[in-house]
Amino acid sequence: MPGQALQWFKTEEQEGKTRVFDPLRRRFVALTPEEEVRQKMLYLLVEHLKVPAGLLAVEYSVKVNGLDKRADAVVFGSDGSPLMIVECKAPSVKLTEDVLEQAVRYHSALRPKYLLLSNGAVMHCFKAEGQVLRPLDHLPDYAEMIG
């Protein structure tokens, strides 16, 4: 959305439930613990890692073993190729081997260069090198992702 600042973390109450405005989906969604982590990750990606908002898809459909699944977010290159899958969990969910395996299934379907997992307190970022996902000690910005 060129020339227009995104509104992050705007909330409203509806029928006793808190909803947060997702500026990428351009609508209010239920503010669950996982959604709060997702919104923080989207903010980090756009505002700090300089991912163009128009190249970031939220709840992106992925076919995994013939089943329709949804990755929390996917960063794309300008050519439409997936660069990073972002998988978010609620803060109460530990980033265990099972969580990593779920994200790896999405990774296998889309084949991006990067995989990012977060529960809000902990983040793990990996870079694909052939068939191996190598842990990174930093979060790549968009320039690094496309490089």
Q: Tell me, what's the pLDDT at 65?
A: 86
Confidence of residue 7 (pLDDT cuts 50, 70, 90): confident
Look at residue 1 and tell me whether its pLDDT is greater than 50: no
Residue 115: closest CA among 78, 86, 81, 79: 86
Mean pLDDT of 73-77: 98
Contacts of residue 96, defined as CB under 8 A and 6 or more positions apart, other chains included, come to none
Q: Tell me, what's the pLDDT at 130?
A: 87
What are the pLDDT digits (tens) for 49-58?
Answer: 999 999 999 9
pTM score of the predicted model: 0.92
Q: Is 120 left (phi over 0), alpha (psi -120 to 50) or beta?
A: left
Mean pLDDT of 64-80: 94
Quote the CA–CA distance of 68 and 70 in Å, as a whole number. 7
For 32-146, CATH number out of 3.90.1570.30, 3.50.50.60, 2.160.10.10, 2.40.160.20 equals: 3.90.1570.30
**Main-chain dihedrals φ then ψ at residue 24, nearest 5 degrees:** -85, -40
- Per-state percent for the chain, helix, strand, coil, to nearest 5: 25, 40, 35
Residue 16 one-letter amino acid:
G
Mean pLDDT of 59-80: 94
**Main-chain dihedrals φ then ψ at residue 62, nearest 5 degrees:** -135, 130
Q: Tell me, what's the pLDDT at 6?
A: 84
